[in-house]
Structure 1
């Protein structure tokens, strides 16, 4: 299983969620070391990105395009 990371790596100060993929820094660290935790991480990401978007953040692929541009 590939990481959900899309190389944005900008984190919301309030939640600690990445604007690109929705993971937290601790989740990124355990991704390789604890494969059993991956499914739980993946389940949470869509809701996190939706919540960040609702707060006015540019998230996901749009955040990556913004970062490059």
Structure 2
């Protein structure tokens, strides 16, 4: 999911882009994959947080949870 930028980049953002572009392509790809995985993990956590959770679990035939 890409976010459209609403204005010019700040000086810090420009520095970050220059730093990223100066990295070797394999490292750029690795960073992108890690960022995507982290983003997906956050989305999954948000999804899980919105679900109802049982406060108690039923007992099995041995009387254990």
Q: TM-score range by the shorter chain?
A: 0.3 to 0.5
Query: Which structure exhibits the higher relative contact order, with contacts defined as CA atoms closer than 8 Å and separated by 6 or more residues?
Result: 1
Which is greater in Rg?
2
TM-score (norm 1): 0.33
TM-score (norm 2): 0.34
